[in-house]
Amino acid sequence: MSGRRIFAAVFLVVSVVGMWVRHEYNKSEKRKREEMFRTLSNLSRQAERERDTIPPEEIVSAPREMFDSTLPQEYLDEIKQTAGQDCKLLEVHVGAMGLNAQVSIDGQTLKEYRRWKHKKKLEGPFEVKIIGDGKVADNILKPSDADLSLVPKMAKEAFERAALDGSTVDGARLKYPLFRSVGDGPEWTVNLSAKRGEKWEFKNVTFDTKGKFKKVN
């Protein structure tokens, strides 16, 4: 076989592999968007159900919005004060109804705290089951990574960059990506959704921990 034919054959194989990798990546990103939406939706529904069972006199008025105020940072500070200033943060979800965070004290086990807008007190700690082979210590965020004062700015920018007509910002999550290379840091993923008849459309907008835009998918 001539060198030209060998080159063509190698090029074809590389192209096919590249197409397969992109296909699998797109499937993974779609699953991530849908999973994040389900998680945030479940948390919001849970908060709403609990709110409906609370006596009216115990419901707290919370006029400020999670995506347009300092509430996310205030709630995270409250969690840190309760869990202990030495707690190690692994993941934060910000939703319209409040915030939940996973923390570790010993670097091996996880606890979850939840702070709902309509409740007076923080909830938790709840046990978190660790799934897979990942180690807690490998996913701990630096204190400077969790700057929740960036949430309003990222929510606004995500809405603009997603360009998804009729969409709303459902939530924002800070954590290390599930699949990452050496040197990759944690990132914010802001999730948006829009209903189209009986179907939903989703988009994720990713930022680094400084609030710098990275991508839309």
Q: For residue 34, what pLDDT is reported? A: 56
pLDDT digits (tens, 9 = 90+) for 172-183: 999 999 888 888
Question: What is the SS3 assignment for the chain?
Answer: CCHHHHHHHHHHHHHHHHHHHHHHHHHHHHHHHHHHHHHHHHHHHHHHHHHHHCCHHHCCCCCCCCCCCCHHHHHHHHHHHHHCCCCEEEEEEEECCEEEEEEECCCCCEEEEEEECCCCCCEEEEEECCCCCCCHHHHCCCHHHCCHHHHHHHHHHHHHHHCCCCCEEEEEEEECCCCCCCCCCCEEEEEEEEEECCEEEEEEEEECCCCCEEEEC
Percent of the chain with pLDDT over 70: 71
Of the two residues 203 and 22, the one the predictor is more confident about is 203
pLDDT reading at 25 higher than 50: no
d(CA 97, CA 59): 13
What are the domain boundaries of the chain?
27-216
What would the mean pLDDT of 19-34 be, rounded to a whole number?
Answer: 54
